[in-house]
Amino acid sequence: MDMEKSKNKKTAIVVGGSSGIGYETCQRLVNRGWNVVNISRTPCKNLKVTNISADVSCGNELEAAIKKAAGKNGVGALIYSAGFSMAAPIEYAKESDYKYLFEVNFFGALKAVQATIPFMKSKGGRIILVGSIGGDLPISFDSFYSASKAALEIFCRAAYSELKPYKIKVTGVLPGGTATGFTFKRKVYNDEESGNYSKSVNKAVAALANMEQSGMSPADVAEIIANLLTEDKPPVIKICGARNTVYRFMSKIMPQKVALGINDRMYNQ
């Protein structure tokens, strides 16, 4: 992309814009006149998007990429859409796996926000972090993913309050199951790695895959994200879809054991 031609446009940085929700977000922002920069290991295929290669699990790489993306024009919006999921029993989960998951899902988002704030402090801006309904109720045998998304939601709330004086508006977007390739990239522990939990792991993975692939389209979630960037008073937390809104509300008002029981049945426990 010719950066000279786009110098008068607002820059939106999408972290994880090569596929799924991130890719669809890039598409919509380009169509709405944003100068879009994707940061990921795999490039976004939209020719109007500028790609910067970086591993989000490496804080130094991500910080350098954001500084490069900001350039002289600054940053109008940051959308963090990178994510990693693993299906594994808590008992046998490898430290290297769950630490990597948190590096991508939580600490990557933290690093991206930290690196972006200096470019927004004088003029304000928008920060959108893509979380998950799975942060409200645990996804069976994907407990680390749920924990990372719960942490991300609390972080969004705190960042909203801290950055409000600088006119930086922070929103956490919480999709439910979404039909993307993310389903097929999930790291799933095999029968040997799962040990005596193997049958339950396989059932939970199949149920989760079915829920995701019959869920919202990534285009619909991306449309919500794009619309949030132009709202005068965006919400702190935005739930995607009416069904997910009801699901979250019911999980908050039901006794915990009842909510967890329903959740267990969803994953064939």
Q: What is the pLDDT of residue 243?
A: 81
Q: What is the pLDDT of residue 2?
A: 45
Residue 187 sits at φ, ψ, to 5 deg, of -80, 115
Q: What is the pLDDT of residue 9?
A: 75
Q: Which of 189, 95, 112, 205 is nearest to 155 (CA)?
A: 112
Distance of CA 27 to the CA centre of its chain: 17
Nearest-10 Cα torsion for 213, 265, 224, 110? -100
Q: Which of 229, 266, 269 is nearest to 251 (CA)?
A: 266
Q: Considering the entire predicted model, what is its pTM?
A: 0.92
Q: Which of 260, 235, 269 is nearest to 156 (CA)?
A: 235
Structural domains of the chain, with CATH: 11-266 (3.40.50.720)
Q: What is the pLDDT of residue 8?
A: 55
Q: What is the pLDDT of residue 168?
A: 98
Per-residue model confidence as pLDDT tens for the chain (269 residues)? 444 444 557 999 999 999 999 999 999 999 999 999 999 999 999 999 999 999 999 879 999 999 999 987 789 999 999 999 999 999 999 999 999 999 999 999 999 999 999 999 999 999 999 999 888 888 889 999 999 999 999 999 999 999 999 999 999 999 988 989 999 999 999 999 999 999 999 999 999 999 889 889 999 999 999 999 999 999 999 999 888 888 788 777 878 777 677 777 777 66
Q: What is the pLDDT of residue 59?
A: 77
